[in-house]
Structure 1
C-alpha cells in the first residue's frame, strides 16, 4: 500500500516569460521520514518553477485518484510479509470521516444514480365511475333511506378498485432503497463466478461489496475488470491503482449528521490547528453515534471466507455498524 506517513510542504516563486512573479507551493508524502517528504517536495517545487519560467504554466490540477491522498494515518495494521507496507490502515479523509484502506481486502463501492434510487411509482388508482352528484348527496345531512332513493336517479355507487399490491423488492431492502440494476449486475457476475463469495451492503447512496473468498491486488487486471463490470466509480478504480489499496468509508459524512466540515486540513501546521481538529472530532464522534455507514444485506456465492480477509470484514462491520439497523449516513 502506498499510504504516506509523513507529508511536507515546499513553497517557491517563479517568474513567467512576461515578467509576472508567481508564488506557489506543493505537498509531497513519504512512508520513510519527514526528511524524504521534504526532499520530494523541494524536487517538485523545482519542476513546477521550471515550467512557469518556460511559459508552460502549472501542471493540470491533480484530482481525486491521480495520486495518494493527503490523509492523516490514524492506525496501521502491519503485514506479515513486509516491515514497511502495512496490510491495512485507517485514515481520516478530507472531510473528517475515517476510511479503511486495505492492501488485499477487495472493497467495491457502487453509487446509484438518482433516477435509479427509488422504486418505480405505482400506477394511479383508476377513478370511480359513480355519478359525480353522489359526493354532494353523501355530504348532505339526510337519512340513509333518502340516500337510497337517490340511486333511482343517480344509479348505484361504483366502489373504487382496490389499490395494487406493493411492488416486490429484493430481500433485505426496503422501499426507497437502491434498486435492482446494480444487484442484477452483481448476481450475473456471481452466476459466472460461482466460487466467489461477496458480502453485499446497503449504503446511503448505493451499495458496497466486499469480496471475501480470497485476497486480491488493487493493481491486478482482473480486479480492475471486476470493478468496471460491477459499476464502480472510475475515479475510485484509478485511486486504488495509485495507492495500491482498496478503500471503504467507516464513519458518516459529517453533513449527514449535522456537523460542519473540519476547520483545518491535514497536515496540521500548528499545535492550535491540531487542537482545533481534535475538538471537531469529539463533536463529530458524538453526532455519529446513532448512525450506520452501511448495513449488511446478504452474502452471495459459494466460496468460503478466506482467513486473511476475516479480520478486516469483522473490523469493517464493527466500525460501520453494519448489523445495527441504525439509520444510514
Structure 2
C-alpha cells in the first residue's frame, strides 16, 4: 500500500477544522434559497469542479453559532464557524468587524476550499470598503462585486452584498455560481445524497488511485436540536475495494475502540457506498468535526489501492 499522492488536502482540512463554519438554509451563489436542495448541495454548487483535488468544508454558521453557545463542551471544535478571520481574531485578539467590515452574525454559510473561503450572508459593502482601505487594500470592479488587493500580498478579496470570497491560494472561488461545479460531479452528488441534510461536513479530496474514490463526514442534529451524530460516506472504486474499506472501518468499531458499537454498511452496485455513523460526545475524537483535526478515519481511508 502506498501513501496519498499529496498531503495538501489533509493540511487544508486540518486548517479548516481548526477554524470551522457552514449553511443548511442559506443562499449561496446562483441559489434563490428555495428548492435548491440541501445546504450542502448548494455549497457544492458554489465550488468549481476544478477544485476536486482539494478538501472542502461546509458549515451552517447560524446553526453552529447557536450550538457552540448552548453546549461549548460538545461543539467547541466548531467555534471558529468556518470563518478564517474569526479564528484568526481568536489568536490575535483583534476585531473581525473593525478589521474586515463584517462579523459572524452577518454570515449564513461558510465554504472552505483549501485555504480559500466563501462566506454567504448579508454584507455592508460600505463598511467592508472602509475597513479594507484602513488596511491598505485598493478596490477595483470584478464580476458581481468589488475586488480588494494589497501591494506585496497574494491574498485577494471579492465582496458583494451577499457573498465574500477570500482567495489565499490557487483556488479561485467565484462570487456567482460557476457553470461547472462539484455538485455536477457524480461522486460528489452521490456522497451528498448519502449524507443528507447536514449542518457541517468535510469532503476529502477526490482520488482515482485509492480504494475510496471520494469520502466525506457530515453531522446531523437530533430531534431535540442539540444532540448530533456524524456519518462517514465513502464511494468505493469497486466491490472488492468496498469490502477492504469496510473491514478497515469495522476494526474501529470493535469493543474498546473509539467507535465501538457503530455499524458499517456497504451498499449495492459496482461502486458501492460505504457508511458508518456514530453519536457525538464531548470527548476527544467524538466531538463534531474532530476528524478534521485527528484525521483518524480519513487517514484510514487515504491510502492508495493495495
Same fold (TM over 0.5): no
Structure possessing the higher radius of gyration over alpha carbons = 1
The TM-score with structure 2 as length reference comes to 0.29
The TM-score with structure 1 as length reference comes to 0.27
